[in-house]
Copies of this chain bind each other. A is one copy, B any other.
Amino acid sequence: MSSPKKLETASNTVELRLRVRLWRNKGDRVALVPTMGALHEGHLALVRTAKAKAERVVVSIFVNPAQFAPHEDFGRYPRDMAKDRAMLEQQGEADLIYAPDAREMYPRDFATRVAVEGPAIGLESDFRPHFFSGVATVVTKLFIQCAPHFATFGEKDYQQLLVVKRLVKDLDLPLEIIGVPTIREPDGLALSSRNAYLNAEQRNIAAQLNRVLRATTERAKAGTSIPQAESEAAAALLTAGFDRVDYVALRDAETLAPVNALEKPARVLAAARIGAIRLIDNMNV
């Protein structure tokens, strides 16, 4: 086992740009892994993919208030910088932590918002109307601050991945977005920082989300109509113990437009709640 690599932290844009400029001047490519901390194996997979693309990897850790609604879990979202740092040092592939504070990201009189339509319409937006604008704004800022060649995002947040790709193209940001497959527990549960909220009973229910999505893709491929497959999946989630199903939807994998048949690549996406805990998952059909 190699000894853990000591990681430096940049806490503002000036420090970040200084480091990135030195790397770029040497010809090193730079990849950014934007996170909200509470790191798990899913994040480490993003770092690993980043390191395979670029000589230098910056992991940003910022719990972004702009993407939480007032009633959501911004206050209780897990934060443990010492543990996050230890995980990254143990992995040894990140080169810098960028951990700006909220005043650095949203100074007094901050008044600008990046809003995306297209892939941001529907699904998550129907239940978290401010979410993608909060994500789009902070991600645009991070890209401009860091000026990376690449950034990695998990397919776990599949709609977010498409929204980020869209805004990068639309704003001509000179970087490539790389989607990274979802990392799962042995029983199929997608890794998520919010899984920490689940008690043992809820954890068992949560595992059914992925199973139901897998069954839904099989049924759709076997010829069940798409509306039928969607409503059967929602019913199955409620039977499995979920308290509420925000959506189960089979969509075009590139645009997220509704589809009538499985002609082009499709994706099934779902969001469901156990008490106040909201879980999402998705997969290729």
User: What distance in Å separates the Cβ of A139 from its nearest Cβ neighbour in chain B?
Assistant: 11
Please tell me if A191 contacts chain B, counting CB pairs below 8 Å.
no
CB-contact partner of A111 in B120, B141, B144, under 8 A: B120
CB-contact partner of A141 in B112, B117, B171, under 8 A: B171
Interface string of A233-248 (1 = CB under 8 A from B): 0000000000000000
User: What distance in Å separates the Cβ of A108 from its nearest Cβ neighbour in chain B?
Assistant: 11
Chain B positions within 8 Å of A17 at CB level? 174
User: What distance in Å separates the Cβ of A135 from its nearest Cβ neighbour in chain B?
Assistant: 12
Number of chain A residues close to chain B: CB under 8 A: 29
User: What distance in Å separates the Cβ of A127 from its nearest Cβ neighbour in chain B?
Assistant: 20
Copies of this chain: 2
Please tell me if A166 contacts chain B, counting CB pairs below 8 Å.
yes
Interface string of A100-119 (1 = CB under 8 A from B): 00000001011111111111
Please tell me if A263 contacts chain B, counting CB pairs below 8 Å.
no
CB-contact partner of A117 in B111, B115, B170, under 8 A: B111
- Whether A136 pairs with B112 at a CB distance below 8 angstroms is yes
CB-contact partner of A171 in B117, B140, B172, under 8 A: B140
Cα A173 to Cα B145 with chains together (Å): 8
User: What distance in Å separates the Cβ of A245 from its nearest Cβ neighbour in chain B?
Assistant: 27
Please tell me if A54 contacts chain B, counting CB pairs below 8 Å.
no
Please tell me if A161 contacts chain B, counting CB pairs below 8 Å.
no
Task: Identify the closest chain B residue to A120 (Cβ).
Answer: B111
Chain B positions within 8 Å of A144 at CB level? 144, 171-174
Chain B positions within 8 Å of A112 at CB level? 114-117, 136, 166-167, 170-171
- Whether B118 pairs with A115 at a CB distance below 8 angstroms is no
Please tell me if A64 contacts chain B, counting CB pairs below 8 Å.
no
| Contacts A113-B117, A144-B172, A145-B172 known; 15 new A-B pairs at CB < 8 A | A13-B172, A109-B255, A111-B116, A111-B118, A112-B114, A112-B115, A112-B117, A112-B167, A112-B171, A113-B115, A113-B116, A114-B114, A140-B171, A141-B171, A144-B171
